[in-house]
Structure 1
């Protein structure tokens, strides 16, 4: 990957690329992101059976210069939940699962006080109130070494108090989908990964998709990277079985297109089952999918994130449009990329990446910004000068550099984010604003 030490992404409209086809604009957009080390992955855009764009960018293994192609395999993270939900619905149609039944009916050892209150439907819709294990620091700090059988792993969260009355609120929850994977195994009599292979992957010809068990050696699998400092490094280790039916699958853009086509053609389960899958319950979430209306068009989508990888899939049923983005860089904004690909296809205006030089700022100004700033309860950013730039250390995240765009605004070369320092009339800095998916002010606390 090219190392751009003095450049940043600024946004300009796609009008500058007047005359290019949608596919050409997509390629230009993605190459600019790749050159700026903000993307590495595979992108596919299709309408029905017609592939409009399919190309790999960056490297599957930086150390060996292995290029990414449309057949490169990636961890897909939470896109896994779509397949878990489909497996559940298939078992519902076979009379083996009741959506309204309490989970203790299928997991006999689950604590009754909680298991009788939570239904299968609650797990599917992130409305169970069961704490998500990915929000528990004591579990996640061991994600690179925790090798426990599922029946032991769930004991880490099964006796925790419910966070709210089941069915009353939405809170994204990996524990719920992990439990669904166990329920699929109990009622089908086969392992979760084998059930998906027999009932989804093989029938659809998804030969490059599967469940990544820890220490599996998977041919043509991309390495996952995290942007540390100026250059990507291999992402931290994770026992992938720990993600289970919530996020342990891998696939390719080509295989996920086969999945999207099957959904459009309503294969695997009945039309009534599809109606339930794509009917939002709370927070626009159905069964493994977000369902929204944008510009009068229905949009199904879901993103994924797991150590070293980011993913996003968009399916627009009326347009028969599929957009699939798989990245092997943690800082890649796969959601933004997928949304912009869809906009380009639809002829909407899109902002394109462009390079801008860094400005020089004196050490006395950098020193003035050193300190700790609180943005949210439990989330601080520690800032210190480092040569001609600043180092920031957000709570529970890696240290990374930010560079001056002006005396008061600094940008990241790793993610699409900026920090703006607020200087009062006395020249004192007591506030910083994080510009990332909105503007988030933070007060200086030390």
Structure 2
């Protein structure tokens, strides 16, 4: 057995040869800080070219059953799935079956998609088509669990009105656009989207545990359960609020399979170099200080590198995949809690490039929930200003604190407390339309539509161009008839 032991030891040594002990300890410390401040629960993998440098599983896949997360645990990767759809589209372009400048009307004439004669594949890939988000359809929330195919989703896509003045006008993130792209894949190949994933990506890269299935399940130990974890003690199971998965996101995958996907792109197994680089290179400015390309983000950074990425999030999941092509780095972060995954992956890259990691800060709303656990909700309400002072603040930093704190109570079905928090928020931010919109949304969620109208109109009185208030008034008008 000695030669075998020697070979195993040698392989482990080689595995970690490109990361220092200090860097490993720094990543360990970083993850521990995220666990303490934000209840991080999930898996992390760091690789360089063909070597895994670091991997770790933290927390529980099921809090109710005390099942731990493992590296092979599957997570809902949400909108990270758009990278797979973009890769399938670029394969079709590479094969000469599709053109980026081709008009949508010439590909899917059977669907009455608004402005289809002006929308190009390029615009769908870059979120500049203006086709909007089918999830905002008035019936989507109630009917989403019945949807099992792209054909089931297309009526919701077709029904939505354009969200921009004209195709190509500006970046406008669109789930509908990637549903349409998935349908294009099906139309040109004669196979389902899931069959294309299996044949064109999974089998070529060795991804053995990834899938989209209907209905979506989150059953441990194979799958992580989604949570909203507010403190170490207080959490909400988010399973009922998760969306079904399609070509715009929602795949079940794990850090090992996603590394294989990234490696397949780096090694040319999925696209040739020119086509891959065309997919990755930035095309359109968007809100995070970078460029959106074709289903990927070309992120600006302090390292002077091109970092190609896409993140995703559901109510109880967060994910991020980052690839540094020049150095071969791959960072995958999967979380079964609503934590910003970019904060985790970005700090891991800082450590790899010998920069100091930024310590995660506990959000004020989480501090307020901890105090609620210890001293009660009425104490927080009565002593709110004193609590702010104890946290080194003269006032609430922004309205979002109230919105998130209220959302915690709504998710815990403590509706009276959710309304009380928004009342406090309106007192401090009387000219902030979001305070009235969220109050209106609370009434909508209680099916109290007449009361909600009053609050959305108050939001419009502050900002006549408030798109959310307009949309909500339009969506509930039919319920008032």
TM-score normalised by length of structure 1: 0.75
> Contact 1:392 / 1:400 at 8 angstroms: preserved in 2?
no
Query: CA shift at 1:161, angstroms?
Result: 3.2
Q: Report the equivalent of 1:342.
A: 349
Q: What is the CA–CA distance in structure 2 between the aligned matches of 1:172 and 1:396, rounded to whole Å?
A: 29
Give SS of 2:90's match.
helix
Q: What is the CA–CA distance in structure 2 between the aligned matches of 1:233 and 1:274, rounded to whole Å?
A: 40
Q: Report the equivalent of 2:439.
A: none
> Contact 2:85 / 2:181 at 8 angstroms: preserved in 1?
yes
Q: Which residue of 369, 374, 393 corresponds with 2:406?
A: 393
Q: Report the equivalent of 1:138.
A: 138
Q: Report the equivalent of 1:70.
A: 71
Q: Which residue of 219, 230, 235 corresponds with 1:232?
A: 235
Give SS of 2:318's match.
strand
Query: CA shift at 1:139, angstroms?
Result: 4.2
Query: CA shift at 1:354, angstroms?
Result: 7.8
Pairwise CA RMSD of aligned residues? Answer: 3.6
* 1:366 corresponds to 2:384: yes
Using CA pairs under 8 Å that are at least 6 residues apart, name the structure with larger relative contact order, 1 or 2: 1
Query: CA shift at 1:106, angstroms?
Result: 2.3
Query: CA shift at 1:138, angstroms?
Result: 2.0
Query: CA shift at 1:272, angstroms?
Result: 2.3
Seen in structure 2, the aligned counterparts of structure 1 residues 32 and 187 have a Cα distance that, compared at 3 Å, is same
Q: Report the equivalent of 1:261.
A: 263
Seen in structure 2, the aligned counterparts of structure 1 residues 192 and 381 have a Cα distance that, compared at 3 Å, is same
Question: Which structure features the higher share of helix residues?
Answer: 2
Q: What is the CA–CA distance in structure 1 between the aligned matches of 2:187 and 2:28, rounded to whole Å?
A: 46
Q: What is the CA–CA distance in structure 1 between the aligned matches of 2:381 and 2:36, rounded to whole Å?
A: 29
After superposition, the C-alpha distances for 1:381-437 in whole angstroms (9 at most, x for unaligned) are: 47xxxxxxxx93259974799xxxxxxxxxxxxxxxxx9x99xxxxx955799xxxx
Q: What is the CA–CA distance in structure 2 between the aligned matches of 1:195 and 1:167, rounded to whole Å?
A: 28
1:161-200 maps to which residues of 2 (within 5 A)? 161-164=161-164, 165-200=166-201
TM-score normalised by length of structure 2: 0.70
Q: What is the CA–CA distance in structure 2 between the aligned matches of 1:169 and 1:261, rounded to whole Å?
A: 32
Q: Report the equivalent of 1:275.
A: 277
After superposition, the C-alpha distances for 1:76-116 in whole angstroms (9 at most, x for unaligned) are: 11111111011111112222222211122222222265211
Q: Report the equivalent of 1:292.
A: 299
Q: What is the CA–CA distance in structure 1 between the aligned matches of 2:170 and 2:267, rounded to whole Å?
A: 32
> Contact 1:143 / 1:239 at 8 angstroms: preserved in 2?
no
Q: What is the CA–CA distance in structure 1 between the aligned matches of 2:123 and 2:34, rounded to whole Å?
A: 39
After superposition, the C-alpha distances for 1:43-70 in whole angstroms (9 at most, x for unaligned) are: 0111112222100000011111111111
* 1:61 corresponds to 2:62: yes
Give SS of 2:180's match.
helix
Aligned length: 378
Q: Which runs of 5+ in 1 are unaligned?
A: 1-18, 383-390, 402-418, 423-427, 434-441
Seen in structure 2, the aligned counterparts of structure 1 residues 64 and 103 have a Cα distance that, compared at 3 Å, is same
1:98-113 maps to which residues of 2 (within 5 A)? 98-111=99-112
Q: Report the equivalent of 1:44.
A: 45
Give SS of 2:224's match.
coil
Give SS of 2:252's match.
strand
Q: Report the equivalent of 2:147.
A: 147
Q: Which runs of 5+ in 2 are unaligned?
A: 1-19, 286-290, 388-395, 415-421, 433-458, 463-481
Seen in structure 2, the aligned counterparts of structure 1 residues 64 and 268 have a Cα distance that, compared at 3 Å, is same
> Contact 1:310 / 1:334 at 8 angstroms: preserved in 2?
yes
Query: CA shift at 1:276, angstroms?
Result: 1.7
Seen in structure 2, the aligned counterparts of structure 1 residues 187 and 264 have a Cα distance that, compared at 3 Å, is same
> Contact 1:145 / 1:238 at 8 angstroms: preserved in 2?
no
Give SS of 1:32's match.
helix
Query: CA shift at 1:231, angstroms?
Result: 1.7
Query: CA shift at 1:302, angstroms?
Result: 0.9
* 1:318 corresponds to 2:326: yes
> Contact 2:125 / 2:295 at 8 angstroms: preserved in 1?
yes
Q: What is the CA–CA distance in structure 2 between the aligned matches of 1:298 and 1:234, rounded to whole Å?
A: 37
Seen in structure 2, the aligned counterparts of structure 1 residues 227 and 143 have a Cα distance that, compared at 3 Å, is farther
Query: CA shift at 1:368, angstroms?
Result: 10
Query: CA shift at 1:287, angstroms?
Result: 0.9
